[in-house]
Structure 1
């Protein structure tokens, strides 16, 4: 059996949708597969999305299982249920591990710059000729994951393939024209209901030699300004409790910007090495918005030290 799973820390809408929709496709093709995760969905898997009824499955490991990883390629962050020597496919859009998996899996490693891993799964449905059989739930999940990961098509990594995939999937998932605003507002309501839990549910700890802040949280909401007005003090206190080098990338869909919140001076200096930023009371604004994976790519491409004057 193929076990379709993702990362260990949390399950966002892209990973959630990819696990469920890819398992559905494989089963239609006569390949036994299950969508499985040890991690809990974060706020991007909204109440309405959960209400669609597409769920992850129970899993009892056997020695014959093979593993397919979606929306993750850093093997240090794989779901703990994964046996590394039985990984047979990796589908991801995060940079950093392309060469490793190309050597391990060859063509079975599909890691490339694209807005959403959900678009890669959609392309597998179309390539297999099964798109007419996709369930309404899987179509809606993949479409919503594309919305989220492309920042409603305003993100810098958005491609024509993402736009085309959404155009195909949205009607199959019965999504209405006002779904994007409804979705992001619903995510914001969930985030604000427990801001600390939301921070914990989308937080990554970077490697010690990273050019990015060591503790890196990210949240996507409809209105970042309103959230900061209501919760900035709580966010500062909670993030400070995670370490003395931290960043929150708060993405505002309505305003097409990222509010970078980084109170420690060392964190501000790291970011200013990568981008031209104007800091005011621990906040800098990026227009257009940028995702964590885009900042990670910048850090991987940057020189390790500032050039001397």
Structure 2
């Protein structure tokens, strides 16, 4: 019996990009006659909104066996892989986060597709397109991939957005029966979910950064429609919860409607780390960046700084 390809992602949480990629790539491989399952031990975060969950696409209830091979989507840092992954049986990596390109190029060669692009969902869309099977994609997978592109490109305002992301959304949206007002509806829904349980939302997209990143140690991120309203209403709760994770912390609230990043950092040491990477004006622990910036873009900036610089 041929091995099953287990499509999975990171260990901490599944955002909409990881969720969509797992489900849509497993569907494509199965259509091509390659047995595949979308599997994860992680829970979806607020970017997988109630409407998205209501589309009915689900991960497979499957336990990998010792013959199975692993395909990683939307993650390439092997310190953060889902714990079920056997590193020596990883056969493919599809990701857009910087830092591990050389490792996987040496390990997997062309089976490592790690490049700067808005969404890993665009990379999975391109596989559907190349295979000539896009007309057969399910409505759910098309809608998931399209929504993941919206989320990861910040409604096409993010600096990582490419022409390929824009083209992918334009092709996927009709297959997924998404309407013109879907972007606003989606981001408002994500914001409502975040505001209903702020501490859970912070925990669900929090990363502990390594010293070489030159970023605050505890870095949380969320994408909402209106960041100003969220921070005004929940600032004391945010600061209390983030402070409980350590003194050196940063929250990046990406505001889709305003096309800004609202950076919140109470401690001077955290503010100074950011100010060394970007021209930032801090006022009472808050800084506004326009256009908005993603954590992975800040990470790339930090990693590119010379050790002495």
TM-score range, shorter chain: over 0.9
Quick check: 1:17 aligned with 2:20? Answer: yes
- Which of 252, 257, 276 is the matching residue for 1:254? 257
**SS of match in other structure, 2:211:** coil
* Counterpart in the other structure of 2:55: 52
Quick check: 1:163 aligned with 2:166? Answer: yes
8 A Cα contact 1:213 1:246, kept in partner = yes
- Which of 154, 158, 166 is the matching residue for 1:151? 154
CA offsets, 1:42-95, max 9 Å, x none?
000000000000001111221110000000000000000100000000000000
8 A Cα contact 1:252 1:259, kept in partner = yes
8 A Cα contact 1:94 1:293, kept in partner = yes
Quick check: 1:209 aligned with 2:248? Answer: no
Matches within 5 A, 1:275-286: 275-286=278-289
Matches within 5 A, 1:61-72: 61-72=64-75
**SS of match in other structure, 1:220:** strand
Root mean square deviation, CA, Å: 0.6
**SS of match in other structure, 1:251:** strand
8 A Cα contact 1:211 1:304, kept in partner = no
* Counterpart in the other structure of 2:123: 120
**SS of match in other structure, 1:209:** helix
Q: CA deviation at 1:264?
A: 1.1
* Counterpart in the other structure of 2:230: 227
Q: CA deviation at 1:35?
A: 0.3
Aligned counterparts of 1:59 and 1:227: Cα–Cα separation in 2: 38
Q: CA deviation at 1:207?
A: 1.2
Aligned residues: 306
Q: Which runs of 5+ in 1 are unaligned?
A: none
* Counterpart in the other structure of 2:95: 92
Deviates more, 1:150-159 or 1:54-63: 54-63
- Which of 85, 89, 111 is the matching residue for 2:114? 111
Q: CA deviation at 1:209?
A: 3.2
8 A Cα contact 1:140 1:170, kept in partner = yes
Q: Which runs of 5+ in 2 are unaligned?
A: none
Aligned counterparts of 2:87 and 2:308: Cα–Cα separation in 1: 34
* Counterpart in the other structure of 2:138: 135
**SS of match in other structure, 2:212:** coil
CA offsets, 1:199-244, max 9 Å, x none?
0000000113330011010000000000011100000010000011
Deviates more, 1:297-306 or 1:22-31: 297-306
Matches within 5 A, 1:24-39: 24-39=27-42
Aligned counterparts of 2:306 and 2:260: Cα–Cα separation in 1: 26
TM-score by length of 1: 0.98
8 A Cα contact 1:68 1:87, kept in partner = yes
**SS of match in other structure, 1:57:** coil
Aligned counterparts of 1:120 and 1:31: Cα–Cα separation in 2: 19
Q: CA deviation at 1:304?
A: 2.2
- Misfit runs of 4+, over 4 Å: none
Aligned counterparts of 1:33 and 1:182: Cα–Cα separation in 2: 32
* Counterpart in the other structure of 1:289: 292
* Counterpart in the other structure of 1:40: 43
**SS of match in other structure, 1:219:** strand
* Counterpart in the other structure of 1:199: 202
8 A Cα contact 2:6 2:64, kept in partner = no
